[in-house]
Amino acid sequence: MSLVFRDTPSPNFNDRTCPLACIVLHYTGMETGAAALERMCDPQAQVSAHYMVEEDGAVCRLVDESRRAWHAGVSYWRGERDLNSASIGIEIVNGGHDFGLPGFPAVQIDAVTALVRDIMGRHGIAPREVIGHSDIAPGRKIDPGEKFPWTQLAEAGCALALPQTRVAGEPEALLERIGYGLEPGLPAVIEAFQRRWRPGRVDGQLDDETRDLIGRVASAA
């Protein structure tokens, strides 16, 4: 699809301190897109993202990709702790858990997919490095949430598809191999993993199905 951009510059950014390596997807978690946009453009809020995708598929450009937007907070992925510097942040307008976790309109997901594909192509980012806020901040963040259609993005080549092969190993080591940090504690990390790979049951339990999924995802890491 052809993306429709709207320039809505945010003052909330600074310089990157490391190379760009991944794309982080969020939901806005506010009642309206207008409220989220206002907050990300408020210098006192000190939060932002590079892009915000509206429910109708329009894309707001807030921070230039060359600059460091402030969307990740305390985070970790594949040894990197400054995910603001290492990523491009995309906020997706959705009320989130605080507003009943609504579904994502098809036109919005089409726009997210097209935007992610464009960014991946220009920066050489692999599908496995398209991740959620919950992946980089287990126990602290739960967006983009269980209703986000990761499978649809994977089918478009814009996120990691679940591998058919698996590798053996201790779950903690395999989770680290995937990219997760273990500091939040194993149950929180398992919940983050399940939220992405088994959204129908997110309970933090290391059951047989979760062990199998960890081994499969780790095979692509």
Please write down the HEC assignment for all residues of the chain: CCCCEEECCCCCEEECCCCCCEEEEEECCCCCHHHHHHHHCCCCCCCCCCEEECCCCCEEECCCCCEEECCCCCCCECCECCHHHHEEEEEECCCCHHHCCCCCCHHHHHHHHHHHHHHHHHHCCCHHHEEEHHHHCCCCCCCCCCCCCHHHHHHCCCCCCCCCCCCCCCHHHHHHHHCCCCCCCHHHHHHHHHHHHCCCCCCCCCCHHHHHHHHHHHCCC
One domain for residues 144 and 185 = no
- Per residue of the chain (221 residues), give pLDDT as tens: 899 999 999 999 999 999 999 999 999 999 999 999 999 999 999 999 999 999 999 999 999 999 999 999 999 999 999 999 999 999 999 999 999 999 999 999 999 999 999 999 999 999 999 999 999 999 999 999 999 999 999 999 999 999 999 999 999 999 999 999 999 999 999 999 999 999 999 999 999 999 999 999 999 99
One domain for residues 191 and 88 = no
Q: Is 31 a catalytic residue?
A: no
Q: Give the count of domains, the chain.
A: 2
One domain for residues 60 and 122 = yes
One domain for residues 90 and 154 = yes
Residue 110: HSE in the Cβ half-sphere, 13 Å Cα cutoff: 10
Domain boundary among 146, 161, 176: 161
One domain for residues 77 and 13 = yes
Residue 217 belongs to what domain range? 165-221
Domain boundary among 161, 187, 210: 161
One domain for residues 57 and 144 = yes
Query: What's this model's pTM, rounded to 2 decimal places?
Result: 0.98
One domain for residues 84 and 96 = yes
Catalytic residue, from 31, 38, 80, 91: name it.
91
Q: Which residues contact 115 (CB under 8 A, 6 or more apart)?
A: 3, 51, 53, 59, 90
One domain for residues 31 and 136 = yes
One domain for residues 102 and 196 = no
One domain for residues 19 and 72 = yes
